[in-house]
Structure 1
C-alpha cells in the first residue's frame, strides 16, 4: 500500500502544476470574457442614449423650423 501511495504522489506531483496552470488560464479567460460582455452591454446602452438624444434634437429642430418658417400668405 505504501508503494502505491509513493507512486501516486509522484504521479500527482507531475500533474499538479499543469492543473494549476489550467485553473489559472480558466479564471483569466473567464474574467476577460465577462469584461468583454459588460463592455459590449455598456456600449449598446451608450449608443441607445446617443440615438435618443439625436432623435430628440431632430424633433426640436423640426419644431423650430416649423415655427420660424414664413407662413404662406393668403390672397
Structure 2
C-alpha cells in the first residue's frame, strides 16, 4: 500500500473527527486535507460500479434514504 495514501486517510479522518468533536461543520475538510497531502488520492481509492448523485436542496434526505434502500440490501 502506498504510504501517502495511508497517511492522507489517517490524517483526514483525524481532522474530520476533531472538527466534529468541536461542533464544527466537517463535511468537506477531511477531503481537502487528503487532497493537500496526496493530490492523486481519488484515483487510488476504491469506487463503486454505480454512482447515484442527488442534487438540489428539496427532499434530498427522503430521496437519499429511498434511493439507497435497494443497494443496501443487494450489496451487503
- The verdict on a shared fold, with TM-score over 0.5 as the criterion, is no
